[in-house]
Amino acid sequence: MKNKLLKKALCTGLFSLLGLFHCSAAFAQTCTREYAPVCGQLATEPAPQTFANRCLLDAAKAVWVSPGDCKTKAMPLVGSDEDAHGCKASAGYQWHEELKQCVRPWMTQAVTLEVAAKRRACTGMVPMQCLQVRERVPGKAPGKWEPLFGEIAGFTHVAGQRFKLRVRKDRVENPPADAPNTTYTLLKVLP
């Protein structure tokens, strides 16, 4: 009885006003405001949720799932055309596993490029030295070398060395007159 009265006093008194304790409605559980997140599952909820600490999880009568924040994704709304990754099909988006994001396939893709050992002279708006590249598709013979007007972001060419790269290829809508209509970003250098 004395312990219950002490808990009630802590929950309604000065400590509660100072924000030092969080108390459940029935004064059955007194918890500190420490933030040490845990993931728990309530019987009445479809997905786990993050609780600020283990005491609050226990006070809510939830089942412990894992330490830290819950790693679950929000479920799409009923009647929505979003997939489990949040990609909206009506806007033309699909999940791209390698890029780990929603993309419009006709605008963004991952491709394998072979980069020649030497740059060659090429002319865009002005004469310049372009990388020579060809796209590699499994099961098909390599195509002819073509100049790449622009650079591959994140890639540094070394003269005299041929490279095989996995790159992100993005089509640019309405590029400036002096810019390429496709950009490339290095994903990884292949052996």
- pLDDT for 30 equals 82
- pLDDT for 1 equals 46
Contacts of 91 (CB under 8 A, 6+ apart): 104
Angle in degrees, CA 97, 101, 106, rounded to 5 = 85
In terms of residues, how long is the chain? 191
Profile the chain (191 residues) by mean pLDDT over runs of 10 residues: 50 46 54 89 83 92 88 60 81 87 89 94 85 93 90 93 94 83 92 90
Domain ranges of the chain: 2-67, 74-105, 108-190
In terms of C-beta distances under 8 Å and separation of at least 24 residues, what long-range contacts does 156-160 make, across chains too?
Answer: 157/115, 157/119, 157/131, 159/117, 159/118, 159/119, 160/117, 160/118
- pLDDT for 113 equals 94
- pLDDT for 117 equals 95
Report field, pTM of the whole predicted structure over 0.85: no
- The CATH topology of domain 108-190 is OB fold (Dihydrolipoamide Acetyltransferase, E2P) (2.40.50)
